[in-house]
Amino acid sequence: MTDAAAPDTPRKGVTVIEAALVTMPPGPGVYRMLDAKGDALYVGKARSLKKRVVAYTQFARLPERLRRMVSETVTMEIVTTHTEAEALLLEANLIKRLKPRFNIVLRDDKSYPWLMLTEDHPYPQIAKHRGAQSRKGSYWGPFASAWAVNQTVTAMQRVFLLRSCADTVFATRSRPCLLHQIKRCSAPCVGRISPEDYARLVAQAKAFLAGKSASVQRELAAEMEHAAEALEFERAAAVRDRIRGLTFVQGNDVVNPASLTDADVIAAWQQAGQTCVQVFFVRGGRNNGNRAFFPTHGKAEEAPDVLGAFIAQFYDDKPPPPLLLVNHALPEQGLVAEALALKAGRKVEISVPQRGEKRAVIQHAETNAREALERKLAETAGQAKLLEGVAQLFALPGTPERIEVYDNSHIMGTNPYGVMIVAGPEGFVKGAYRKFSIRSAITPGDDFGMMREVLQRRFGRALKEQAEGGTPDWPDLVLIDGGAGQLSAARDILADLGVQDVKLVGIAKGPDRDAGREWFYTDGAEPFQLPPRDPVLYFLQRLRDEAHRFAITTHRAGRSKAIRVSELDEIEGIGAARKRALLNHFGSARGVKMAGLSDLEAAPGISHETARRVYEHFHPGVLASG
């Protein structure tokens, strides 16, 4: 790793880079350009670090965007790798984690659901799964959405009669559940099927998920004929229903090409300086759904470059399939395929189909990308009009880029939280939302005190960051949930902090608290209402309601967490197992508190010494005095 300090000159970044080049190795690796705050401006990879980075010292030849990047650079960091493919994987990981301003960045913080068949139970369970795949079992996916995986679980129940209930429910059943009655489960919980027959169902389900649906269908057909020949007509009818369900599943997909088994279909579409990347997940010859992504990038970036960066980052935290179909040849297609193969531990092919069924599939994905981008651009245009209306309504100097809305939530002063939500030209900026757990003692119902703490913490932090040379995000408009009193209090709080140039607006419901009758309070104007069907009113209501929703959910989560914290947690030497034993025996922490010493000693798993420690915690000094 190489660090270099920068002199205070207009082209200080060039000097930083030149100093770093002195000790920079010639081999492959990843370089990071950092600004004065230590945030990443750009992350890049190279086959030869020295040859690649030296290009940034030719300042006059750089485009304006890269000149700005170099000018802001005060430090360079270098990480060497064994190969360029390893460098590509590390670059994608760092870009996704650091989100540098001058990179193409995929903002995808959602986890993807998988289909799981457990293997640690005599009767495996089929279920939706998210997160680490730590439980012993087989996993299929990813799926584009929870809806897609739920549809597949339902289809698998219909065809293979596998149980979906949790092991705890399975262990306590005394009679078949409703799923058995509607022919979605074979009821292994009450012995309606033998372990051997259920294992056969599981094997068929695995074969189907692996793309061997034709062999499963032949096996079911043979089973139906055998049952009919044996005059077991009821069993033959049941198998017939399963065949019908299998046929329905096979023909129910929008994109279900016979020539694809495991593949991702990825198409990029550009318009108005923005890009939409549409991904279809095909596994086992079936479409597992699709999702649209909108990577952030400079307006000059071409679709192939965006697509290449997207693919590298997209598979940073998920296994790539054996085949990727794309609608543009990637700038470093061979290198990207090599890097993905390194990650997957097997060959990964990237192909741009030119004809036939695969070409039709990629065109379908491309059409979806175009339509999704057009919808987004239309929504953005509508959002821009609404923001212009807000600027005109509140006499702002320009269209607001950042609107902050504040709200509080508590129950008689308990578990108090304040929240801030943010909106801008792209809609709600959920990554900028903030929660404030109120630290000061709050009198029940003291919303002014809660707001005072929230605003002091939010703007105090911004002022501190600015004093340290940073560039904090300042709002163009602040909406406060409340009327004249709340507005006046907020104004005084910001004045105490020395913040004078932030527009404050209070939004309060009328006496009947009906939506559409809101009053707006702002400096320099009398309180006013908007016409009931005014689009700007709807927009402001939506902002206020989103803040209220976020406040309520934050408060509920905090209250649930507080409820889970027991007074037993405060007793030294009482771990999770003993706490569970006490709660199971006495029913609650209050029951433990009211128990006598002999009762505690009689509890299962509680030793004499532990019982004394628990009793002394709730009755200090009693045992000593006795």
Query: Among 3.30.420.340, 3.40.50.720, 3.60.110.10, 3.20.20.210, what is the CATH number of 403-562?
Result: 3.30.420.340
Distance of alpha carbon 400 from alpha carbon 448, whole angstroms: 26
For residues 419-440, give the mean pLDDT: 87
Angle at the Cα of 324 from the Cα atoms of 319 and 330, rounded to 5 degrees? 110
Distance of alpha carbon 263 from alpha carbon 364, whole angstroms: 15
528, 505 in Cβ contact below 8 A?
A: no
Domain ranges (residues) in the chain: 12-98, 114-211, 263-374, 403-562, 567-625
Given a cut of 90, whether residue 63 has pLDDT beyond it is no
Query: How is 36-51 classified by DSSP, letter by letter?
Result: TTS-EEEEEEESSHHH
pLDDT above 70 covers a percentage of the chain that reads 87
Provide the pLDDT confidence category of residue 235 given band limits of 50, 70 and 90.
low
Q: Extract the tokens encoding 28.
A: 């492959």
Q: Which residue from 113, 166, 158 is spatially nearest to 140, judged by alpha carbons?
A: 113
The residue count of the chain comes to 626
| pLDDT for position 615 | 84
| pLDDT for position 8 | 45
Distance of alpha carbon 508 from alpha carbon 618, whole angstroms: 47
Q: Which residue from 108, 116, 126 is spatially nearest to 179, judged by alpha carbons?
A: 126
Q: Which residue from 563, 603, 607, 602 is spatially nearest to 582, judged by alpha carbons?
A: 603
Distance of alpha carbon 344 from alpha carbon 341, whole angstroms: 5
Query: Phi/psi of residue 527, each to 5°?
Result: -55, 140
Higher pLDDT: 479 or 589? It is 479
Secondary-structure class of domain 567-625 per CATH:
mainly alpha
| pLDDT for position 443 | 64
pLDDT digits 0-9 by tens, 305-338: 999 999 999 998 888 999 999 999 999 999 999 9
376, 276 in Cβ contact below 8 A?
A: yes
| pLDDT for position 626 | 53
| pLDDT for position 246 | 62
Distance of alpha carbon 386 from alpha carbon 537, whole angstroms: 9
Q: Extract the tokens encoding 380.
A: 């953005």
Residues 595, 601, 602, 606, CA torsion sign:
positive
Q: Which residue from 498, 485, 505 is spatially nearest to 406, judged by alpha carbons?
A: 505
Given a cut of 60, whether residue 187 has pLDDT beyond it is yes
Q: Extract the tokens encoding 52.
A: 């690649």
Given a cut of 90, whether residue 237 has pLDDT beyond it is no
Distance of alpha carbon 461 from alpha carbon 562, whole angstroms: 27
Distance of alpha carbon 84 from alpha carbon 86, whole angstroms: 5
121, 167 in Cβ contact below 8 A?
A: yes
* Burial profile 345-356: b = 16 or more Cβ within 10 angstroms, e = fewer: eeebebeebeee
Percent helix / strand / coil, the chain, rounded to 5: 45, 20, 35
| pLDDT for position 245 | 61
Distances (CA, A) of 537 to 191, 222, 455, 533: 61, 65, 25, 7
Distance of alpha carbon 76 from alpha carbon 32, whole angstroms: 6
Given a cut of 90, whether residue 390 has pLDDT beyond it is yes
Distance of alpha carbon 138 from alpha carbon 406, whole angstroms: 46
| pLDDT for position 351 | 94
Question: Do 263-374 and 403-562 fold alike per CATH?
Answer: yes
Higher pLDDT: 416 or 411? It is 416
Distance of alpha carbon 463 from alpha carbon 499, whole angstroms: 9
Mean pLDDT of the chain: 83
Higher pLDDT: 140 or 222? It is 140
> Coil, strand, or helix at residue 24?
coil
| pLDDT for position 625 | 57
Given a cut of 90, whether residue 340 has pLDDT beyond it is yes
Name residue, tokens 């660090």: 3
Provide the pLDDT confidence category of residue 348 given band limits of 50, 70 and 90.
very high
Give CATH for domain 12-98.
3.40.1440.10
| pLDDT for position 173 | 84
Q: Extract the tokens encoding 443.
A: 């009198």
Distance of alpha carbon 81 from alpha carbon 411, whole angstroms: 55
Sheet holding 114-118, edge to edge: 126-129, 114-118, 137-140
* CATH fold of the domain at 263-374: Nucleotidyltransferase; domain 5 (3.30.420)
Provide the pLDDT confidence category of residue 609 given band limits of 50, 70 and 90.
confident
pLDDT digits 0-9 by tens, 474-528: 999 999 988 888 888 889 888 888 888 889 999 987 655 555 578 899 987 888 9
Q: Which residue from 476, 483, 421, 485 is spatially nearest to 449, judged by alpha carbons?
A: 485
